[in-house]
Structure 1
Amino acid sequence: MKTAFFCLLLTALSSAQAKDQLTLNDKGYLAMQGLNVTAFADIYPDGHQTGVTVIQHGSRVAANGDLRLEISPGQWSPVPVGGRQEVDKKANRITQTLSYPDPSKDRKGFNPIAYPDLKFTYKVSVTPLQGSQFKVTVDLDKPLPAEWIGKVGFNFELFPGELFGKAFLMDQRAGIFPRHPEGPMVEKAGEFIPAPLATGQRLTVAPDSDKQRLTIENRGPGTLELWDGRGNHNNGWYIVRSAVPAGATTNAIEWVITPNVIPGWRSEPVLQVSQVGYAPSQAKKLVIEQDALDTRADEVALYQLTDGGRRLVRKGRPAAWGKFLR
């Protein structure tokens, strides 16, 4: 007979997260209630899971903030190799060192990647500012070769599924995130991609939604470009990008990002079960993920669906299980 267990699990909460100020916590990422910012907590750019990542009101709205060699890279495009990460509590800053190429992928492995003849090392730093603001800077160890100016840039990807039909403002010029990639097309590095949706210095994403509003300001010498990465790759996201300027090293890229945070926001409980199923005699465990500020353990009821409707199987209060990293 299968047995059902209820477990209560709370999201991680630091003292900083409970305040209205984004702060580097003891788990190595920036946090406040309603907002988390991670920096290279995972290095898997193929799956849009790396770089500077924003989790706003419980949703991962932006990720893959990193230097790339193309405007709209694909799954098998060159990616950097991760080096040392420094979490500096005193300076309130996270710094990740990376470099091109990645020797383990350069023309090696099951899906070898053909890296160009370009070698450089750089650092991406993330620093909280006031409120929900944080700064992203990129420092290069040496200027880029002339033939790579305009090609290498800092890409920051916006998850498209949450933005279809939403508005954006670029320097007060309005636009709409399209459901499908559209023309006109432009040629970049021998590949045709949709022309940028907008260019400027200040981009506001979803200005009409308190839950999704996010502003990106360019503080460096270049410009912001908003691209639709789905035009040449069916798994692409919207891409906010600034190219690395000629001769730049220190602060080659400098952005200030401000996600809006709803005061007092709390996440709804999430029910988690095994994604791979259960063996016939295996106990089924239900994990209830709650907001870290929601410490209640309300009674839970488990029902079986029958041809006569719902039938109560059991009910009870969940036991404490532990905490997530985030």
Structure 2
Amino acid sequence: MSPRPGPIDVHAHWLPQELFGLAPGSPLPALADRDGELYLGELPLSIATEAMSDVNRVLADTDTAGLGSRVLSAPPFAFPVASADGVDDFVGEFNEALEKVCRDNTDRLLGLGLVSLHDPATARKQIEAMASSSVIRGIAVPPLLGATSFDTDPMREILTAAAQNNLAVLVHPMQLPRPEWTSYYLANLIGNPVESATAAAALTLGGVLDALPALRIVLVHGGGCAPSIVGRWQHGWDRRADVRSGNGRPPREAFADLWFDTLTHDVAALELLRAQSDPTHLMCGSDYPFDMGTHDPLWLPRAAGIDDTALESNARAFLGLDPPADYALDAASPSRISW
């Protein structure tokens, strides 16, 4: 299969209403539809319910945003972060529903499935099943599982299985609460960028990217605050043996292996990200349909001088898709991009 030509939004969320109860053992209350608006327990999310769950609404909003296609993944509050009875069933139901909506709209929608995070053996079987799908192109995971990240098991084992099965990985923060972040939405405004930076540190300083050279892993929200502090990591790596204990490359070098979406909310921040990363690893992201996302995900990369063709080609490479036919270099068009 091949999505419709045009920029691909790799960071968009979807959850069918039959799974609004969330994964078994979830620390969060169930989702609910109240007069067309989505609530998490008693908390209003400022999201139209149909934008999260109705595929026709998702497709209409995709067209309005000027996108060729969208990659759907579960919202972070649906991640199966607890080891509880019934988690495997929840994961299976989500992946089956995601496969169906993407297969019904093969030129418009792709998916990133869920895995049983606490059980690497089961996660590997789920990944192997997804690897046979043409529309499920990877998995979505949180940056932290309890007090651990990707440099330790079980998350490191899950990344290994994804890399071995040629599946992409999207990392989305969970907005974990801390007592000093109870006001002003700081659990999101500060917490999410810190979670993403923690994942980036685990991947680079932990030697994960060196051990798994085939791994394609994207940090959303432009990698959080990681681009602004990778220089600090490099200084620590140069000066301290404990920072080098992960037996990886210098963090500046490893950082170039990471992928990022362009949802930085600021042109200067996106320009910094581009300077610190590999520009061929930058992709369009919207965080649809959340209020911290954007309905116009192409404005920011365009403002930073990243054109739609680059966004599409980068996303296709990340997702393991063939390039569009008109990207092939031929004698009649020697200036075309060569793949």
TM-score by length of 2: 0.22
TM-score by length of 1: 0.23
- Higher-strand-fraction structure: 1
- Higher-helix-fraction structure: 2
Structure showing greater relative contact order (alpha-carbon pairs closer than 8 Å, 6 or more residues apart): 1
